[in-house]
């Protein structure tokens, strides 16, 4: 057996310690957000905020930080939380029009159309199977409605009568996403290590993001073709009004 000299072992240990120390110290010394008000632990770790997230009271914890420090607080080494009434009012104005009574009433024909299709499909299932999976049809209908009111087209789940990959991802992602949002490092490790639970969450998130990009592009294309009378959605004027509000 080959024995390493004691001096070599000590040099290796010292080198590892020095590299670790520099990696920790340099970001702190050159910290661009060091002046943001914070609890002293938030400069070193986000464990406190993550603990309150796991316990279900993170909003209350962050709200108390704002009351104690300022509208801008640091909750982790790389995270800042901002509580700004003006920013909130901008977003409220952006959504006030599509959420108004007039706008919601204009969407009633679209909603009725999907309801009638769901009822026809349930009648067909009753005749063919002798029973109806009410939850399945309500889920397919609500998902199609979300797609139509958001992107201007359905996911065609009611027509198919079954979930597609997107619907399956949407159904499972909230459970997986909660862990990923609190512990993003685990999702990063999932790309390297065999962690099926987090691997599935990562892949589902990627598929949903890709589908959202495709849907937004398709809607922008349809609006470009008919800019005078675009197909209305909950967010038809969101981008345009956002640019105007932020400029002013």
Q: In angstroms, how far is CA 98 from the centroid of its own chain?
A: 21
Give residue for tokens 């509580």. Answer: 83
Of 88, 53, 82, 87, the residue nearest 70 (C-alpha): 82
Is 0.85 surpassed by the pTM of this model?
no
Across 6-125, the runs of DSSP E, i.e. the strands, are 72-76, 79-82
Q: Which one-letter DSSP state was computed for residue 45?
A: -
What are the structure tokens assigned to 147, written together?
Answer: 């797609």
What residue ranges do the domains of the chain occupy?
Answer: 6-83, 103-246
Of 46, 45, 40, 38, the residue nearest 73 (C-alpha): 38
Contacts for 62 with CB less than 8 Å, ≥ 6 apart: 49, 52, 73, 75, 81
pLDDT in tens, the chain (248 residues): 445 454 555 655 666 666 555 555 555 555 677 788 878 888 878 888 888 887 888 889 999 999 999 899 998 888 889 888 887 787 777 777 777 777 778 888 889 999 999 999 999 999 999 999 999 999 999 999 988 888 888 889 999 999 888 888 888 777 666 666 666 666 666 667 667 777 777 788 788 888 888 888 887 777 777 766 767 777 765 544 544 444 44
Give residue for tokens 């009633």. Answer: 108
Of 144, 192, 190, 194, the residue nearest 164 (C-alpha): 144
């Amino acid at each position: 057996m080959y024995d390493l000299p004691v001096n070599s072992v000590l040099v290796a240990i010292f080198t590892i310690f020095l590299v670790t120390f520099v990696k920790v110290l340099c970001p702190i010394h050159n910290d661009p957000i060091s002046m943001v008000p914070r609890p002293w632990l938030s400069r070193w770790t986000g464990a406190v905020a993550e603990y309150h997230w796991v316990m279900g009271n993170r909003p209350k914890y962050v709200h108390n930080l704002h009351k104690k420090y300022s509208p801008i607080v640091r909750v982790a080494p790389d995270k800042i939380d901002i509580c700004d009434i003006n920013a909130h009012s901008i977003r409220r104005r952006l959504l006030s029009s599509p959420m108004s009574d007039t706008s919601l009433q204009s969407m009633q024909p679209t909603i009725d159309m999907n309801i009638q299709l769901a009822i026809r499909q349930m009648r067909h299932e009753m005749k063919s199977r002798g029973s109806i999976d009410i939850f399945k049809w309500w889920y397919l209908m609500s998902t199609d409605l979300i797609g139509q009111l958001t992107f201007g087209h359905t996911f065609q789940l009611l027509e198919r009568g079954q979930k597609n990959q997107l619907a399956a991802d949407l159904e499972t992602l909230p459970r997986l996403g909660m862990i990923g949002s609190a512990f993003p490092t685990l999702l990063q490790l999932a790309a390297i290590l065999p962690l099926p639970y987090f691997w599935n969450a990562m892949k589902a998130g990627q598929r949903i993001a890709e589908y959202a990009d495709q849907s937004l592009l398709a809607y922008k294309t349809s609006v470009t073709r008919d800019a005078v009378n675009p197909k209305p959605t909950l967010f038809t004027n969101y981008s345009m009004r956002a640019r105007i509000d932020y400029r002013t």
